[in-house]
C-alpha cells in the first residue's frame, strides 16, 4: 500500500484558474514538505511543515498556499495559475530528529502530481 498518496496524478488547468493538490501520508511522520520539479530546473524545496505549522517557505509567490487540515495532510493550493507553474509537484514527509541542533531526518517522497497549465 502506498504510504504517501498524492492526488491527482495528472492535472491540466487553464491560465488564471485555481487548483488544489492533495497529499496524505501514512508513515506517522510529523513533518511534511512540498517540492517542485520543472523541466529546466532540479527539484526545488517549496515549504516545510512541522506539527501542522509552517516552518519554512522558499516560494516567492503568495499564489502558493499550503493547507494542513490534519496532521498527516498537507495540501497545496495554487491560485491564478500561469504556464510557468507547469511542473511535477512532490510531497514528502519525515520524522525530524534533532540532536545537538542537527537534523538527521530521512525524507520520503510521494509519487507526484504533474501539473500542466495551458
Partner 1 sequence: GQQVQQSPASLVLQEGENAELQCNFSSTATQLQWFYQSPGGSLVSLLSNPSGTKHTGRLTSTTVTKERRSSLHISSSQTTDSGTYLCAIDPGTQVVGQLTFGRGTRLQVYA
Q: List the one residue from 14, 39, 70, 101 that touches partner 1 (CB under 8 A).
A: 101
Are 78 and 19 spatial neighbours (Cβ–Cβ below 8 Å)? yes
- Judged by CB under 8 A, how many residues of this single chain contact partner 1? 29
Select 79 or 95, whichever has its Cβ closest to partner 1. 95
Helix (H, G, I), strand (E, B) or coil at 53: strand
Q: List the one residue from 21, 33, 72, 115 that touches partner 1 (CB under 8 A).
A: 33
Torsion, Cα of 87, 68, 55, 100 (10° steps): -110
Under rule CB under 8 A, residue 55 binds partner 1: yes
Considering just the CA atoms, what is the radius of gyration of the chain in Å?
14
Q: How far apart are CA 7 and CA 111, in angstroms?
A: 9
Per CB under 8 A, residues contacting partner 1 are 31, 33, 35, 42-45, 48-50, 55-56, 58, 88, 90, 94, 96, 101-109, 111-112, 114
Amino acid at each position: 500500500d502506498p504510504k504517501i498518496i498524492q492526488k491527482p496524478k495528472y492535472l491540466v488547468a487553464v491560465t488564471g484558474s485555481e487548483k488544489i493538490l492533495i497529499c496524505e501520508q501514512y508513515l506517522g511522520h510529523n513533518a511534511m514538505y512540498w517540492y517542485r520539479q520543472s523541466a529546466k530546473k532540479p527539484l526545488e524545496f517549496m515549504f516545510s511543515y512541522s506539527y501542522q505549522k509552517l516552518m519554512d517557505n522558499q516560494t516567492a509567490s503568495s499564489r502558493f498556499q499550503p493547507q494542513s487540515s490534519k496532521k498527516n495532510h498537507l495540501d497545496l493550493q495554487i491560485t491564478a495559475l500561469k504556464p510557468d507553474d507547469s511542473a511535477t509537484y512532490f510531497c514528502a514527509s519525515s520524522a525530524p530528529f534533532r540532536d545537538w541542533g542537527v537534523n538527521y531526518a530521512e525524507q520520503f517522497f510521494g509519487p507526484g502530481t504533474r501539473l500542466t497549465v495551458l
